Amino acid sequence: MIILDNIIVSDEFLNAKFCCNLPRCKGWCCVAGDAGAPLEADEIGQIEDNLEAIKPYMRPEGLEVIEAGDVYDYDEMGELVTPLVNGAECAFVYFHENGTALCAIEKAFLEGKCDFRKPISCHLYPVRLLEKNGFIHLLYHEWSVCVPAKRKGEKEGIPLWKYLRDPLVRRFGQDWYDRLTDLLF
């Protein structure tokens, strides 16, 4: 384990190999589960500010959920999450013709239509952040959905912390990431 500032980096995170394998998993992490993706409070406003740019990429079912409620919901613990369509996929999911679940928010971002990429919890996945006693814990969430990503990461020798470079920098800053990598080499 490494403690860097107020961030606790678990050994599981440091030792994991990982590389998303969308052709194999089909983006199932955006469909399966018992709640939407965790949201930080400031992300609600960012989604709302960009909603008109995101809507063209959404499915009618997702639009109905957003229009009937909001761009956020609460999970069973009272935490902010993205809303779900019929208790299944995230309201912001759309499906590629090959059946792969993709993110309408990220699609709008990648096409230059909005300035919000996607919730940081999605960008960091399979890592979950747990704030407790003034510390942020980086927890590697091992899920059967991601077995193809784990196998690909192991085969290609890609550490999870390298695979997640961009979202880690987005969340904690370049300086923090540089100090982490300095500790690992």
Nearest to 168 by CA among 142, 129, 131, 133: 129
Phi-psi region of 86 (alpha: psi -120 to 50; beta: other; left: phi over 0): left
Cβ-based burial of 119 (10 A; exposed 0-12, middle 13-18, buried ≥19): buried
Query: Coil, strand or helix: which one is 147?
Result: helix
pLDDT in tens, 135-180: 999 999 888 889 999 999 999 999 999 999 999 999 999 999 999 9
Give the pLDDT confidence of 42-95 residue by residue, as tens digits: 999 999 999 999 999 999 999 999 999 999 999 999 999 999 999 899 999 999
Question: Over the stretch 11-34, which tens digit does the pLDDT of each residue have?
Answer: 999 999 999 999 999 998 898 878
Q: Averaged over 100-129, what is the pLDDT?
A: 96
Q: pLDDT at residue 129 above 80?
A: yes
